Amino acid sequence: MRFHQLTLVVVVMSSASCCDLATDEEVKVLLPAPPVLWQIAFPRLGFRVVTRDARNGMQERNVDDWRVPVVVTCARSVNSPILAYPLEMGIADSAVFPPGHLRPSGGFYPLSLRAFKGGEAVELTWEDGAAASVISRVAAQGPRDLSLFNVARLRQYLQEHADPWALDLDAVAQKISQGELTAWDIDMLPCRDTEVEPGPGTWFLESPFSSSFEAANGRIMLTRVSLGCHHLFSLDGRSWGMELGKQEAVLIRIR
């Protein structure tokens, strides 16, 4: 790896001590503008904002307009992760596809605070989505004092990659939980090129950093795609699930 040594520490605490020290805080959150491809394909794109409260419980709120700031509740502690999962909103603002089909944006309280109209707001970005997802996974495993973890350094290293979602984030979260993460543990998932036939049109993958692919005769060539599950979307609303293995790629029609 090209990264320098990274020393990051996580201390696992008892649930009682974590709950005693943390309190809830209402914070204003600024959502990022969706990528242009997403705005074309999903004209009614909203978000599900997910936070963790002082008791480490998940708090969720749907937002149907990314242009409008939203107030959410999160734990008043250092490195509290905030995620915003894109949702395609339908009739009565119900989600047409569930969170996770498109990669989330993210940020941290209070690390991502910035001045906003006479006060402060947490500004979420697509670049911080992967780091916030990792820390949220660690928090989901039980009460921990994440204030002792160098989230700012983790953000920096993940953002050095063209697409942080192509990294092995599960392994990163596991190493953090064990208190053993170094920069040498941050590596790419296995990947390969593949040709698939989703049909004519302009297509893109679930990451906000995905390029668009023009289908020639209904076929597209995807380069350096990580093995595992993906979603493939067209600008006209069609979508496929894709399972990429070492030898073949299987498409499953979603709509």
Three-state DSSP state, 116: strand
Residue type, 13: M
For the chain, what percent of residues have pLDDT higher than 90? 71
pTM: 0.88
Among 42-46, 51-55, 121-125, 176-180, top mean pLDDT goes to 121-125
For the chain, what percent of residues have pLDDT higher than 70? 87
C-beta of residue 84 within 8 angstroms of C-beta of residue 49: yes
Residue type, 205: L
* CA angle at 130 for the pair 184 and 120, rounded to the nearest 5°: 120
Give the tens place of pLDDT for each residue, 33-76.
999 999 999 998 999 999 999 888 999 999 989 999 999 999 98
List 48's β-bridge partners, or say none: 62, 85
Taking Cα atoms as reference points, which of 173, 172, 170 lies closest to residue 184?
Answer: 172
C-beta of residue 80 within 8 angstroms of C-beta of residue 51: yes
Which domains does the chain possess?
Answer: 11-185 (no CATH), 191-253 (2.60.40.10)
Taking Cα atoms as reference points, which of 198, 203, 197 lies closest to residue 41?
Answer: 203
Query: Which tokens sit at 63?
Result: 């937002």
Q: Would you say residue 141 has pLDDT above 70?
A: yes
